[in-house]
């Protein structure tokens, strides 16, 4: 399982990576592997403000539907439209082409409270 | 791995469910379906006994025919669905894993001394070989050639010294067959077919439960516990064709009564937009009134649709009817579509 060392991680397996002032969010490689083939994703509207820990969408795999949770609070600055046509991008490249959201964070300190890549690796038994 | 009727079975192999589905549609999929049960029914009273117990016409069958049937209770509800093989001196009946015990009890309780019922499930292994290149693979590894057999017939073949009962049947909508053979040879034959496929340049991969479900769903085949069950009668599920009203069988009287009263609901296919429909989700009409529920639903990889099978009240079953499926509290657009979504290869 690959882990993006530049990202921080929520216990619910979302990653959050700071990129030019915005927080890029998706799910970890471990999470996509656990879910199996992803066939559908529902993402929020751009401009919506959602608090940390609240659901921002749903991802559906062959097996089941899973909620997605905001790793930090903020306003949705962008969603990855390419996932509507090809949700399998989340399986193929969870940290790159499979990104889900870009958040304008309302409290950047929340990012520090997330797990480091190292701690996340330990949490999923990869280290 | 997932528990299925007491067996541990892979939901998908390393290949992934979507790709496994695609492989079966383009080449060859191997299905470990040892969980299926097999009964052998023989004796002087066997023909009349089986005919009286199952819904389909079977007395016209001669070897090597095989045929689909339902097993009904006195209320006309579906205890199981079966594949029935006419053997020279017996009936070979394939039942679902989850119903093996109840089916056996049902068969036994209806039998008299002129009938012998043997549960052969434990010493029989079952592998399905399905896909457009399945027959080519089997012809290359076994004798005699199975390509000489018609759809819904069986033959005795030899694959690498293993005696195999081959049925040109399946549960995917593709050509191919199902192999019955001594359980001790399971691992050998499984690996042999994969290795031979590779050597012959015929892509041959193991297929898990998830793809087995999406393949059968697209092809319009029922899964017991979903489209048919002991709470569902064959008329509302669209299986009148599997019931022979010109003979006597358990459940016939009840079905006639149901037909006379009129059906309270019907099975339909739904094409859903904006979410993945799943078993148990409610179906509403345009005004929001609940008019049914989904019994199965998924993403269909070949036809690329989010689709459900649902029971709906009369008046909502016509192709083209606009309905809603309630997905996590949100009504999503759905339209009644013709089943099956994928026309089986052997019917084209």
Q: Which CATH number does the domain A8-106 belong to among 3.60.20.10, 2.70.150.10, 2.40.50.100, 3.10.110.10? A: 2.40.50.100
Provide the token pair at A127. 């280290």
User: What was the pLDDT predicted at B348?
Assistant: 87
Tell me whether residue B111 is in a domain: no
> Average pLDDT, whole number, for chain B?
96
- Picking from B18, B277, B294 by the largest number of A CB atoms within 10 A of its own CB, the best residue to mutate is B18
Q: How much is the pLDDT for B8?
A: 77
- A11: Cα separation from own chain's centroid: 11
- Is B137 part of a structural domain of the chain? yes
Give yes or no: residues B154 and B22 share one domain.
yes
Q: Answer yes or no: do B21 and B135 share one domain.
A: yes
**Same domain assignment for residues B219 and B237:** no
Model pTM score? 0.95
**Does the distance separating the beta carbons of A65 and B17 come in below 8 Å?**
no
Residue ending a domain, among B223, B254, B275, is B223
Q: Measure A18 CA to nearest chain B CA, in Å.
A: 30
Q: Are residues B207 and B146 in the same domain?
A: yes
B153, B17: one domain: yes
CATH of the domain at B189: 3.30.1360.120
pLDDT of amino acid A126: 83
Kindly indicate the confidence band of residue B300, based on its pLDDT and cuts at 50, 70 and 90. very high
Instruction: Using the 3D structure, point to which of B199, B223, B247 is the last residue of a domain.
Output: B223
Q: What is the predicted pLDDT for the residue at B3?
A: 67
Same domain, yes or no, for B218 and B233? no
Tally of domains in chain B: 2
pLDDT, position B1: 56
Establish if B280 touches chain A: CB-CB under 8 angstroms. no
Q: Which helix (H) or strand (E) holds A27?
A: strand A22-27
Q: Residue B314 falls within a domain, yes or no? A: yes
Choose the closest CB to B275 out of A36, A40, A88.
Answer: A40
Same domain, yes or no: B207 and B299: no
pLDDT at B185 over 70: yes
- C-alpha distance from B300 to closest chain A C-alpha (Å): 9
- The CATH number for B261's domain is 2.40.30.110
Chain B residues in contact with A42 (beta carbon < 8 A): 274-275
Q: How confident is the model at residue B15 (pLDDT cuts 50, 70, 90)?
A: confident
CB of B54 within 8 Å of a chain A CB? The answer is no
Q: Do B145 and B293 have their domain in common?
A: no
Which residues pair with residue B86 across a beta bridge? B91
User: Does B345 map to a domain?
Assistant: no
| B293 in A contact zone (CB under 8 Å) | no
Sequence ranges of the domains in chain A: 8-106
CB B58 within 8 A of CB B84: yes
DSSP H or E segment with residue A121: helix A117-123
DSSP B78-108: EEEEEEEEE-SSEEEEEE-GGGHHHHHHHHH
Say how far apart CA A32 and CA A45 lie, in whole Å: 23
Average pLDDT over residues B230-252: 98
Residues B235-249, mean pLDDT to the nearest whole number: 98
Mean pLDDT on B6-21: 87
**Sequence-distant (≥ 6) Cβ neighbours of residue A86 within 8 angstroms:** none
Same domain for B215 and B251, yes or no, is no
Percent of chain B having pLDDT more than 90?
A: 95
- Among the three residues B198, B223, B248, which one is the final residue of a domain in this structure? B223
Task: Nearest by CB to A36, from B17, B275, B306: name it.
Answer: B17
Average pLDDT of each block of 10 consecutive residues along chain A (127 residues)? 96 97 98 95 98 97 94 98 97 98 97 97 90
Q: Is A63 on the interface with B (CB under 8 A)?
A: yes
Q: Are residues B245 and B311 in the same domain?
A: yes
Same domain, residue pair B3 and B133: yes
CB B255 within 8 A of CB B233: yes
Chain B contact present for A92, CB below 8 A: no
Is A84 in the B-facing interface, judged by CB distances under 8 Å? no
Please give the pLDDT value at position B2: 67
pLDDT one-digit tens code per residue, B27-84: 999 999 999 999 999 999 999 999 999 999 999 999 999 999 999 999 999 999 999 9
A residues 17-36 lying closer than 8 A (beta carbon) to B: 36
E strand residue ranges, chain B: 2-4, 7-9, 28-32, 37-42, 66-72, 78-86, 90-95, 116-119, 124-130, 142-143, 154-159, 162-167, 176-182, 204-206, 266-272, 282-284, 290-300, 305-312, 322-327, 330-337
pLDDT at B129 exceeding the cut of 90: yes
Q: B299 φ, ψ to 5°?
A: -85, 130
Average pLDDT value for residue range B73-100: 97
Q: Same domain for B7 and B24?
A: yes
> Rounded to an integer, what distance in angstroms lies between the CA atom of residue B65 and that of residue A16?
61
Residue B93 sits at φ, ψ, to 5 deg, of -120, 120
Residues of chain A neighbouring B299 (CB-CB closer than 8 A)? 39-40, 60, 62
Candidates B1, B15, B16, B273: best to mutate against A (most CBs of A within 10 A) is B16
SS3 B288: coil
- The backbone torsions φ and ψ at residue B144, rounded to the nearest 5 degrees and listed phi first, read -70, 175
Residue tagged 């017996």 (tokens): B90
Chain A residues close to B328, C-beta within 8 Å: 58, 65
Q: What is the residue range of B22's domain?
A: 1-35+121-223
CB-nearest to B11 from A39, A63, A91 is A63
CB contact under 8 A, A62 and B298: yes
List b or e across B318-339, with b for residues whose CB sees 16 or more CB atoms inside 10 angstroms: eeebebbbbbeeebbebebbeb
């Amino acid at each position: 399982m690959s882990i993006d060392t530049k990202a921080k991680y929520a216990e619910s397996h979302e990653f959050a990576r700071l990129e030019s002032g915005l927080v890029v969010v998706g799910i970890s490689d471990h999470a996509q592997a656990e879910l199996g083939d992803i066939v559908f994703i529902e993402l929020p509207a751009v401009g919506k403000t959602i608090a940390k820990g609240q659901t921002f969408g749903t991802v559906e795999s062959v097996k089941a539907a899973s909620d997605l949770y905001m790793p930090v609070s903020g306003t949705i600055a962008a969603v990855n439209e390419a996932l509507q046509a090809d949700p399998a991008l989340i399986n193929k490249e969870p940290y790159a082409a499979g990104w889900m959201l870009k958040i304008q964070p309302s409290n950047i300190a929340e990012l520090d409270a997330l797990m480091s890549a190292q701690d996340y690796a330990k949490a999923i038994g990869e280290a | 791995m997932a528990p299925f009727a007491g067996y541990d079975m892979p939901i998908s192999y390393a290949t992934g469910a979507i790709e496994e589905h695609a492989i079966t549609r383009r080449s060859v999929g191997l299905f470990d379906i040892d969980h299926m049960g097999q009964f052998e029914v023989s004796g002087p009273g066997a023909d009349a006994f089986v005919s009286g117990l199952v819904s389909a016409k079977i007395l016209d069958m001669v070897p090597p025919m095989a045929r689909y049937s339902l097993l009904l209770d006195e209320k006309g509800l579906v205890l199981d669905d079966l594949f029935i093989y006419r053997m020279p001196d017996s009936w070979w009946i394939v039942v679902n894993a989850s119903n093996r015990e109840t089916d056996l009890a049902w068969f036994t309780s209806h039998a008299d001394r002129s009938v012998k019922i043997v549960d052969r499930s434990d010493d029989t292994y079952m592998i399905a070989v399905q896909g457009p290149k399945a027959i080519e693979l089997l012809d290359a590894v076994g004798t005699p050639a199975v390509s000489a057999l018609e759809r819904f017939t069986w033959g005795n073949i030899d694959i690498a010294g293993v005696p195999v009962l081959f049925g040109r049947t399946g549960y995917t909508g593709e050509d191919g067959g199902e192999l019955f053979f001594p359980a001790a040879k399971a691992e050998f034959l499984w690996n042999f077919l994969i290795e031979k496929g590779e050597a012959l340049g015929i892509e041959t991969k193991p297929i898990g439960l998830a793809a087995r479900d999406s393949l059968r769903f697209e092809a319009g085949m029922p899964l017991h516990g979903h489209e048919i069950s002991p709470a569902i009668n064959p008329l509302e599920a669209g299986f009148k064709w599997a019931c022979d009203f010109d003979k006597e069988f358990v459940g016939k009287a009840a079905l006639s009564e149901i037909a006379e009263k009129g059906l309270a609901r019907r099975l339909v296919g739904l094409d859903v937009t904006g979410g993945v429909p799943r078993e148990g989700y409610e179906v509403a009409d345009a005004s929001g009134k609940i008019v049914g529920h989904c019994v199965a639903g998924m993403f269909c990889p070949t036809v690329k649709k989010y689709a459900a099978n649902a029971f709906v009240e009369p008046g909502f079953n016509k192709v083209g009817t606009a309905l809603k499926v309630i997905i996590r509290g949100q009504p999503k657009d759905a339209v009644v579509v013709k089943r099956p979504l994928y026309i089986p290869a052997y019917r084209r």
